[in-house]
């Protein structure tokens, strides 16, 4: 993640930063229905046995940007520093995930050959997590090293792509919706028509995550993305997207990189992720905002997994277990502003900041959940057809 005003509720010298940030979390929210997502893919042709070690060695963790509490003064991650000091286990934390497909493409060859991919924990979205699990690219978790696993929210405890959470643990959950520059667009963005208003031409960006961008467009077109929608309905949304690109409304289809374009002013409105937008607001004088589209947003989760090639499994599990301590989870949630997957974190947050504890962006309400949907799981054939169409439309 990039630098920002940190919120570390349990760290006294960071409280001031937290207070400056509260106003950006006025609130919507969404929760564990994300667990319904299942990934699609082909069966593994090769599975690799691996020997794990129970001590020694740095735990190498790949995550998305803006996804762990960060102190701009020390340029360190407070919760991670506390873990390393307490456990004696070193952790190398890398913001190396910008897009699920892009990351998978970088390590796929090594995974097939059983070669070290350079990470002991990877954090990937539901559908991609499901693909890794089905292909045999993850190790089964040892619950004796994960006593805090019991703290996972009930709705996330067993999901289609990983029944019983044998291979994964939710890191964070969140929404895709509209983000915008409030100084450029004071009226806000709440509908697709507003997103593609004439004055925004050439300054709109959408996500390279197919399910988020297409999910929002399809709901605008009246399609229920959680049900058995047809190929024709999906392709109708592809036509809409492709026209907006060819007409010059969409300047870029991006992963996390849309944040920099919002900051520079190259983009004024995006289909983006909720936590990102609040964090951008926090570090840019409340210049940005986020809303779930009136026609519906999407809901997703990112998940921690241990690659089959890792030889530091036990220490990796200790890292995962630490982040399921409610107080630690609350500290992270206060910073990233995504939906916290850990039971007890809301109570821990109430002791720190009641306003944050009441934010439905972090601890969502039933009303908010009614405004978002999970993109249904795809068959392998659909995965290929839909992904190919999306990549062609976006010029990849």
By CB neighbour count within 10 A (0-12 exposed, 13-18 middle, 19+ buried), where does 98 fall?
Answer: middle
Q: Is the pLDDT of residue 323 over 90?
A: yes
Under 8 Å between Cβ of 175 and 345: no
Nearest to 296 by CA among 186, 379, 375: 375
Identify whether the C-beta of residue 317 lies closer than 8 Å to the C-beta of residue 305.
no
Query: pLDDT digits over 165-224, tens only?
Result: 999 999 999 999 999 999 999 999 999 999 999 999 999 999 999 999 999 999 999 999
What pLDDT does 2 receive? 33
Predicted pLDDT of residue 150:
98
**What would the 3-class secondary structure string for the chain be?**
CCCCCCCCCCCHHHHHHHHHHHHHCCCCCCCHHHHHCCCCCCCCCCCCCCCCCCCCCCEEEEEECCCCCCECCCCECHHHHHHHHHHCCCEEEEEEECCHHHHHHHHHHHHHHCCCCCCCEEEEEHHHHHHHHHCCCECCCCHHHCHHHHHECHHHCCECCEHHHCCCEEEEEEEEEEEEECCCCCCCCCCHHHHCCHHHCCCEEEECCHHHHHHHHHHHCCCCCCCCCCHHHHHHHHHHHHHHHHCCCEEEEECCCHHHHHHHCCCCEEEEEHHHHHHHHHHCCCCEEEECCCCCEEEEEEEEECECCCCCHHHHHHHHHHCCCHHHHHHHHHHHCCECCECCHHHHHHHHCHHHHCCCCCCCCHHHHCCEECCCCCCHHHHHHHHHHHHHHCCC
Sorted by where each starts, the structural domains of the chain and their CATH numbers stand as 12-30+37-173+301-357 (3.40.190.10), 174-298+376-393 (3.40.190.10)
Of 253 and 66, the one with more pLDDT = 253
Tell me how crowded residue 255 is: count the other CB atoms within 10 A of its CB: 18
Query: What pLDDT was estimated at residue 248?
Result: 97
Q: How does 349-367 read in b/e, with b if 16+ C-beta sit within 10 Å?
A: beebbeebbebbbbbbeee
End-to-end CA, the chain: 25
Pick the range with the lowest mean pLDDT from 10-24, 69-83, 102-116, 204-218. 10-24
Is the pLDDT at 22 greater than 90, yes or no? no
pLDDT value of position 352: 82
- Residue 122 in tokens: 């990877």
């Amino acid at each position: 993640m990039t630098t920002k005003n940190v919120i570390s509720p349990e760290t006294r010298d960071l409280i001031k930063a937290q207070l400056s940030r509260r106003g950006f979390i006025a609130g919507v929210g969404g929760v564990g229905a994300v667990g319904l997502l299942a990934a699609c893919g082909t069966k593994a042709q090769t599975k690799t046995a691996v020997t794990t070690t129970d001590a020694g060695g740095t735990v190498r963790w790949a995550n998305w940007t803006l996804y762990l509490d960060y102190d701009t003064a020390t340029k360190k991650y407070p919760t991670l520093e506390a873990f390393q000091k307490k456990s004696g286990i070193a952790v190398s934390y890398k913001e190396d995930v910008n897009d699920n497909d892009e990351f998978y493409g970088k390590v796929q060859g090594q995974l097939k050959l059983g070669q070290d991919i350079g990470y002991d924990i990877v954090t990937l979205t539901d559908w991609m997590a499901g693909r890794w699990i089905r292909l045999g690219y993850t190790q089964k978790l040892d619950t004796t090293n994960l006593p805090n696993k019991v703290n996972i929210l009930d709705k996330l405890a067993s999901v289609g792509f990983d029944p019983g959470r044998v291979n994964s643990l939710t890191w964070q959950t969140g929404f895709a919706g509209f983000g915008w520059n409030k100084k450029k667009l004071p009226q806000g963005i709440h509908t697709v028509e507003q997103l593609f208003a004439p004055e925004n031409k050439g300054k709109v960006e959408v996500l390279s995550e197919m399910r988020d961008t297409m999910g929002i467009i399809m709901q605008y077109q009246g399609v229920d993305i959680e049900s058995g929608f047809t190929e024709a309905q999906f392709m109708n949304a592809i036509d809409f997207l492709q026209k907006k690109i060819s007409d010059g409304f969409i300047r870029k289809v991006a992963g996390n990189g849309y944040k920099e374009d919002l900051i520079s002013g190259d983009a004024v409105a995006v289909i983006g992720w909720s936590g990102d937008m609040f964090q951008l607001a926090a570090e840019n004088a409340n210049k940005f905002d986020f809303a779930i589209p009136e026609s519906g947003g999407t809901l997703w989760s990112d998940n921690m997994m241990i690659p089959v090639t890792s030889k530091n499994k036990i220490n990796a599990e200790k890292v995962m277990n630490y982040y399921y301590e409610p107080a630690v989870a609350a500290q992270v949630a206060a910073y990233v502003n995504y939906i916290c997957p850990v039971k007890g974190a809301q109570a821990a947050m109430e002791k720190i900041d009641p306003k944050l504890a009441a934010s439905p962006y972090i601890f969502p309400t039933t009303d908010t959940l009614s405004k978002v949907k999970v993109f249904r799981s795809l068959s392998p054939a659909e995965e290929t057809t839909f992904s190919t169409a999306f990549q062609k439309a976006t010029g990849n």
